[in-house]
Each structure stands twice: as structure tokens, then as C-alpha cells.
Amino acid sequence: MALLNGKVFTEVSGNVFVEAAAIKDGKILSLGTTNEIKEFIDSSTHILDMEGKLVLPGFIDAHCHFASGGRSLTTLTFRGVNSVEKIQKMVATKVKELPEGAPIFGSQFDHTLFPGGKWPTKEDLDKVSLDNPVVIRRVDGHSVWINGLALRQSGITRRTKDPFGGEIIRNPTTSEPTGILKEAATRMVKVKGPRIQSTLEQDIERAMNHAVQLGLTGVHTSSSLEEIEIYKKLDEEGRLTLRIYAWLPIKKIDEYIEKGIKRGQGNDMVKVGFLKVYIDGTISSATALMFEPFSDEPSKSGLAQYEEEEFYALVEKAHRNGYQVGIHAIGDKGIHWALNAIEQAQRKHGKKGLRHRIEHSSIIHPQDIKRFHELGVIASMQPTHCTTDLSYCERRFGRERSERVYIWKTLLENRAVLAFGTDWAVEPLDPMRGLYSCVTRKSIEFDYPEEGWFAEQRLSIAEAIRYYTLGSAYASFEEDIKGSLREGTLADMVVLSKDLFTAETKEILTVQVLYTILGGKIVYQRQSPR
């Protein structure tokens, strides 16, 4: 294949853009002017005239939940819905479509958008669904809202104790569950009834179809050994349309050690990734682990998912056995514990070049900023979390602490490595939303604040692209083969309808993917309007 007459972003020092690229055997053979690349063309070459369009390395989402994201495309979604009444209408419509007793599942509700920002209750759902259990996951994925039938089927009553690391929200007068469950308590939900089945493979295929239209050529995704086998099967059948770095839950570390499963096993299409561990919850559910209480809920300072020493020992075990660890840590105390755990493991066993990661890295204590570089820890962050959370962050933390939220620029100034993703299905998978968030720090839905939220943390478009491509490749130890367009790297590329480097910031959200190219093969081509 040859791409001619384009604007190819290479990041090669001193020559950031070139006109054209030659591809052979799935890799970039040469970069240069259109006339230079024409020398490689013969009768077997597939020629694409870019007509001046921007060509970037394929986007790599460094943190998503790919299969469950694919499943979410088939369920009720309440993203941006700003009242309980609107949700009730949508649930009532779904009740009419399903047989009596069939569970109703939904996601993406955000109580901070409701009048007064109040949590909804089981009674709100009971008004429209008494005979069908309803389970709606909050937008952050760390809380659920269920109706009375779902509570009864799950055996959750006023006498049920909160699990470690979880909370059953209760009526302060009666102690009855309100229908809101947080963190570990969400795993107590067990609903019954006939279900419309979707296989794991179907979920993945649905997700792949969605991803290629957005210019994604790789994802780092939550997974299981079963899921990895499906990705391998799709690869063997020639149906896998993006590269998979599949992370596994750390709780099964003994099984991985016994079976000899290690990070990096696989090929350029499917690799075993890091071991994932949660230390806290989220900002929006008031479960992120904080040094100081939340400003709007002074009785709470988050929920640790492990006792501190137990957590340190678990990370040390993974490090000792050569595993990269990805730690979900959002609150400043959670991030502090994560850095402590990594530092203690490195003191005992050396750094080992494992490139441990802190997933989300949302609010960082000033004394911990330099430790990311010192310990070689990657800040795996999701830019759209910033522009979603800004509507309530200052209410939750106060103005002073909010200055430490999603500090991309400060981390870069302190030589940390960033890797960007979306946390799909918590946020939409579209990288353009992330790029827009990086360069504006403005709410996507409501276009505020006008000057950007803590605008000093904004990034340039080049920086934003870098950490959606090369930063993510570094986080999976693959910066030598992907994440940038250089001779010898994999020919994973995306062609866009507009030039991100010259477009107005408001235009970023309207940019469309014209081609997604994986290993020199076109896996998506946008059809021209008729």
C-alpha cells in the first residue's frame, strides 16, 4: 500500500510531517515526499490518495472494558439524562417490551445531573417496574440503583451488613436499603428471570465494529482467560480488527503463577497485559480514598478495598513474580498507597523495568507528584473524566483541592509518562472527546467554563495525540513497534476528515474517521454520502 499526498504525522524529530508513506508486509517501509514514495509503487500496490488529509498513528485506548462496552450498546443507557422522571419513562417503555419478570439492565445514570443532585431510590423505580427487577449502573460503574424486587431477589434487607469495601445506602429513619449500593456492595446483586442472551464473543464483535469507526487500532482492556481465548480465536480466523493488551484481575495471581501466564505472552495482535487491582472507588460515588473528608459529605473519606498492609503485600507478590501491576487509584490517599506499594516492592526486588501503572490518577497529593517519575510509574488517565467530573468536583473537594485534579501538565513537567484512554463504557469510546477535553478542559455537553477548568493544565493537540498513541504503546512495552509512524513500525494508521493541528477546537468533536488501517490493511472505510 502507498498513501500519497497527505499530511502524515510522524513525530520524527526535525521532520514532524511528511507527505506520503509506503507499506509492505504490515509495516511502514518508507516515509517521505509523494515523489519519493512513488518509487516503491508497482502493479500490486494499493494506492490511497489522501488529498491533503491528516494521517495519524492509530489511536490506542489505554484503559477500557471492551467486552462490557460492547454489551452496553444493547442495554438502556442514561448518559446525560437529567431527571428521574425521564429515566422512569425509559424504563416503563422497556417493561412493555419484555416478558414479566425479565430483568431490566441499564447504565450511565448520573445523579449529579438531577435537581438538587440527590441520589434516587428504589421507590422511584418501583413506580414503573414492580414485576421486573431493575439494575442500573451509575456512570462511574462503582454504584448501582436497583428497585425493590431486585433488592428482595438479592436478599438485601435492613439486617444485611455492609461488605468490606462497600456500602448499602440506608434510610436514616428506618435503616431500610434505599436501592443504592456502592463498591463491593454492588456484587451482592443477584436478579432472576428470563434474559435476552448475548455471548461474550458477540459483545466483542459489537465492540470491534464500534471501535474501528472511531480510529482505534488497539485497546488495553479488562479481560479474563476465557476472553483472551476468544480474542485469539478471532485473530486466527482473521476477524480481529484491533490489537489487544488484555489485563487480568490480580485476585487470581496464584492461578497465573501456576499456569505460567506472564505479561507479554502472545503476539502483536493479542498479548497478556498487567494485573489489575482496586484500592478505592470513585469521586462521583464519594468512595475515592482521601486523606481528608469530602467537602459535601464530611462524614466520608472513601472506601479502601484492602487493608493497607494486605494491599502492599499483594502488589509486592505481583512485582516479585515479574508482573506489571495496574492499580485503580483515584483519591489522593489511594494514589499515595499505590505509590508506597510500588516503592516498597522495588526496594525489596529492584525496579525490574515493569512499568507499573496507576489507573485514573485523578487527585494527587503534591508530595506524590514527583514520585511517578522517580518510581517509573505510568499515569494511565482518561481525559473525559476531567470534563465530566468538573461539574461537581469543587463541591466535593473545595476549590483548593480541585487544583490537584487531573493535573496532566504538572505531571509532564515533572517527567511522568502519561497514557490516555476512555474507561469505556464509563465514558464514550470516541478518542475525539478525549482530545477535545485535553485542549479545552471544558464540559463537552454544556460547553463550560468558557476559559477552561484550571486551564493551566490544558495540553496542546500534539501532546494529546502523543499520549493517545505513543504513551499507550509505552504502557504496554510496545513503543518500538507502534504508537508512532516510523520506518519499521506496524502500519497502524487513521485518516481523518479534518486537520486537528489547524482546526478550531470546537471542530474536534465533529472530526470523522475516513480510514482505519491495521497492519497495512483497511479495516474501516467511511462511505461517502450519496
71: in domain:
no
The answer to whether the beta carbons of residues 22 and 16 sit under 8 Å apart is: no
CA proximity to 219, closest of 424, 463, 459, 22: 424
Clarify whether residues 237 and 345 are in a common domain. Answer: yes
In whole angstroms, how far apart are CA 210 and each of 85, 247, 329, 429? 30, 21, 28, 8
DSSP assignment letter at 224: -
67: in domain:
no
Average pLDDT, the chain: 95
**Confidence category of residue 529, pLDDT binned at 50, 70, 90:** very low
pTM above 0.75, yes or no: yes
Clarify whether residues 176 and 236 are in a common domain. Answer: no
Task: Give the contacts of 438 (CB within 8 A, at least 6 positions apart).
Answer: 383, 408, 420, 458, 459, 461, 463, 464
Clarify whether residues 324 and 410 are in a common domain. Answer: yes
**Greatest distance between any 2 Cα atoms in the chain:** 80
**Confidence category of residue 530, pLDDT binned at 50, 70, 90:** very low
Query: For the segment 232-259, what is each residue's pLDDT rounded down to a tens digit?
Result: 999 999 999 999 999 999 999 999 999 9
Of 126, 154, 188, which closes a domain? 188
Bridge partners, residue 493, by sequence: 57, 517
Clarify whether residues 360 and 490 are in a common domain. Answer: yes
Q: Residue 355 sits in which domain range?
A: 200-518
**Confidence category of residue 12, pLDDT binned at 50, 70, 90:** low
524: in domain:
no
Average pLDDT over residues 257-273: 97
Clarify whether residues 359 and 495 are in a common domain. Answer: yes
DSSP assignment letter at 58: P
**Confidence category of residue 405, pLDDT binned at 50, 70, 90:** very high
Query: For the segment 192-239, what is each residue's pLDDT rounded down to a tens digit?
Result: 988 777 799 999 999 999 999 999 999 999 999 999 999 999 999 999
The answer to whether the beta carbons of residues 384 and 362 sit under 8 Å apart is: no
- The total domain count for the chain is 3
Clarify whether residues 435 and 320 are in a common domain. Answer: yes
* CA–CA gap between residue 323 and residue 371 (Å, rounded): 20
CATH code of the domain covering residue 32 = 2.30.40.10
- Alpha carbons within 13 angstroms on the beta-carbon side of residue 464 total 23
Neighbours of 254 (CB within 10 A): 10
Clarify whether residues 116 and 238 are in a common domain. Answer: no
